[in-house]
Amino acid sequence: MPTEFKNVSEITQNLIRIVQDNSNLQNVWIQGKISEVNRTQNGILNFKVTDNSKVIECVIFNDNASLQENFPVIGNEVSVKGQIYIAKDMSKYRFMVTSREDPDASLSNQFVSVSTLTNTLETALKTHSAEVQGKISEIYPAPSGFTIFKLKDETAHRQDDNIIECVLPRGIESPFSLEKGERVRVSGQLGIFASTRAYRINIDDPNNIEQVTEQPTLNECQECHQRFNNLRDQLCPICYDASLTSEGIVIGAVVRYFSGHKFSGFSTERERRIPFGANVGRADVVLRDSENRLFAIAECKRIGDDGSDRIEQGQLKSYLNASGTNLGLFADDTDPYEWIFLKKNSERGDFDEISRSQFEKALNVDPVSDIPPGKTRLELIHGNIIEAEVDAIVNAAKAELTKGSGVDTAIRDAGGEEIERAIQEIAERESVCPPGSAVITIGGSLPAKYVIHAVGPIWQGGNRSEPELLADCYKNSLKIAVENGIRSIAFPAISTGNYGYPIEQAAPITLNTVKEFVEQAHQNNEMVPERIQFVLFDEEAYNCYVKEFANLGFGLSCLIG
């Protein structure tokens, strides 16, 4: 074991220098297909570029407005120039895009494949060893059997935490049990892990990890230290956490959610120990019953400065696996109330992403609304609208209100006699409902209390006011919902079946119309449903909506208002 140990920020500085000094990692052109675009709240654009070798995560910072303009678009081929960027608060590498060009005009450029680029990075790092001392901020088993832990400086101010990921390969056991909060010295070789775009210290000898027992020399500002200690006495644990870090705010939001009346049979626990092998991780928040049985685990993250770490659910999944828990919640500070829910798929042995109502249903709790005031939750669901557990579902009806096919048949068959009688009464009164209009009936035997029958336009090429009429369907349905005090509503993709409206054109109109309607209502302090689901029956329609949600910077479940 060497004797000279650096702290985490010193190692990070070395790493940044190694990358900056390597001309093959600077001003490089890559070419590939764009996927997974998202824009963070502070205007940073993240996306992935995949060529036929590998994928790399790219970032355009908010100081580069001209480059961000009309770019990037999912599915497009691009040529971009940039450099390897070290996201030191996450132990990740990224490709920071500095310029781009039209794919056709780019033939003269020397492109580098993503795999060549990452190999160059790996080679550059591999020749360096790292001896570092820090505090374990996270520890969990990777699916491959590796143990991953992250080190932070013991003395860092909270806002500039650097992190370095360390890895013990399968079969290499630490000589002592590793646990979050423990202070250690490690030495190993720098390297990268391409599938999570992380840089790491690989520790391949158990002798290269050592417990630190002497007291840390805290160089935290004494004044802050004093203030934090006072806060600890004055605030409850949730508010205390929330006062310290943005991760604390997320944890606070999750704890409040789990402490809500709908989870009355459960209790929450913070920092629950999750043993795996000889080591111990700590889950941020768990939901357990009075016999201490675990029902769900929540992991809460502070997202890195480039805001691009939403996909990083590996740690949560390993806690779920290690503790035999089926339900998970992943939260981060891009929006402390917008979470990803996971459920174990026992056939595949992996986890499916589910909606919040499916999560609550799996826990057998009542999916009543707990959405913050002034907000509406949009949810995207792949399924059958007749099963939607909402106040009202919307039907794609015919102008004469006679039974059609598709979703109309499904809803009316499931709604039964009662719904038919109610439709009959309206048909006698109105004789015909023009495209763009909507009427309401009871839901009969459906789980939904009401059905709003909206008449979509028949596609005739797009120049017969179809976009306006389609938008009217959504606006009028929402108006009727508001008039009837409906708090949750589910829409199918109106007109995109027998009426032939191309889904790629219908989806953006739909989402923009609903978004504008909801935002306007919240701005004017008017009532508007708090939960709006889009239930897509076939895969193509669902995928199209997923893409459209992403283009708007939305997750599959998101809050707007």
- What is the distance between the alpha carbons of residues 524 and 126, in angstroms, rounded to a whole number? 58
Answer whether 537's CB lies under 8 Å from 396's CB. Answer: no
Residue among 460, 421, 455 nearest 435 (CA): 455
Q: Which of 87, 250, 354, 386 binds ligand ADP (CB under 6 A)?
A: 386
User: Closer CB to ligand ADP, residue 314 or residue 406?
Assistant: 406
Shortest distance, position 480 Cβ to ligand ADP, whole Å? 17
DSSP 473-529: HHHHHHHHHHHTT--EEEE--TTSSTT---HHHHHHHHHHHHHHHHHHHHHTT----
Q: How many residues bind ligand ADP (CB under 6 A)?
A: 22
In the sheet that holds 376-382, the strands lie side by side as: 438-442, 450-455, 392-397, 488-491, 531-536, 376-382, 557-560
User: Closer CB to ligand ADP, residue 30 or residue 385?
Assistant: 385
Shortest distance, position 47 Cβ to ligand ADP, whole Å? 28
Query: Of the listed pieces 365-373, 512-520, 536-544, 548-556, which binds ligand ADP according to CB under 6 A?
Result: 536-544
Quick check: 438 binds ligand ADP (CB under 6 A)? no
Element (H, E) at 550: helix 539-551
Q: Which of 45, 303, 363, 396 binds ligand ADP (CB under 6 A)?
A: 396
Q: Which of 385, 438, 480, 511 binds ligand ADP (CB under 6 A)?
A: 385
Query: Of the listed pieces 23-31, 113-121, 293-301, 381-389, which binds ligand ADP according to CB under 6 A?
Result: 381-389
Quick check: 443 binds ligand ADP (CB under 6 A)? no
Element (H, E) at 34: strand 28-39
User: Closer CB to ligand ADP, residue 32 or residue 497?
Assistant: 497
User: Closer CB to ligand ADP, residue 6 or residue 361?
Assistant: 361
The answer to whether 104 is a known catalytic residue is: no
Shortest distance, position 405 Cβ to ligand ADP, whole Å? 6
Shortest distance, position 535 Cβ to ligand ADP, whole Å? 5
Residue among 427, 468, 423 nearest 442 (CA): 423
Contacting ligand ADP within 487-526 (CB under 6 A): 492-499
Quick check: 538 binds ligand ADP (CB under 6 A)? yes
Query: Of the listed pieces 106-114, 233-241, 462-470, 535-543, which binds ligand ADP according to CB under 6 A?
Result: 535-543
Site string for ligand ADP, 450-479 (x = CB under 6 A): ------x-----------------------
Answer whether 538's CB lies under 8 Å from 386's CB. Answer: no
Answer whether 96's CB lies under 8 Å from 74's CB. Answer: no
Answer whether 74's CB lies under 8 Å from 35's CB. Answer: yes
User: Closer CB to ligand ADP, residue 58 or residue 455?
Assistant: 455
Quick check: 408 binds ligand ADP (CB under 6 A)? yes
Q: How far apart are the first and last CA of the chain?
A: 56
- What is the distance between the alpha carbons of residues 506 and 467, in angstroms, rounded to a whole number? 8
> Which positions ≥6 away from 10 have C-beta within 8 Å?
132
Q: Is 332 exposed, middle or buried (0-12, 13-18, 19+ CB in 10 A)?
A: buried
Quick check: 384 binds ligand ADP (CB under 6 A)? yes
Number of Cβ within a 10 Å radius of residue 382: 17
Answer whether 379's CB lies under 8 Å from 557's CB. Answer: yes
Query: Of the listed pieces 44-52, 218-226, 282-290, 532-540, which binds ligand ADP according to CB under 6 A?
Result: 532-540
Shortest distance, position 30 Cβ to ligand ADP, whole Å? 37
| 101: its two tokens | 């060009």
User: Closer CB to ligand ADP, residue 350 or residue 540?
Assistant: 540
226 phi and psi angles, rounded to 5 deg? -65, -45
Shortest distance, position 496 Cβ to ligand ADP, whole Å? 4
Decide: helix, strand or coil at residue 426: helix
Marked catalytic residue, from 332, 408, 413, 472: 408
Query: Of the listed pieces 79-87, 95-103, 279-287, 533-541, which binds ligand ADP according to CB under 6 A?
Result: 533-541
Shortest distance, position 394 Cβ to ligand ADP, whole Å? 10
User: Closer CB to ligand ADP, residue 308 or residue 496?
Assistant: 496
Binding site for ligand ADP (CB under 6 A): 384-386, 396, 404, 406-408, 410, 456, 492-499, 535, 537-538, 541
Q: List the catalytic residues.
A: 408
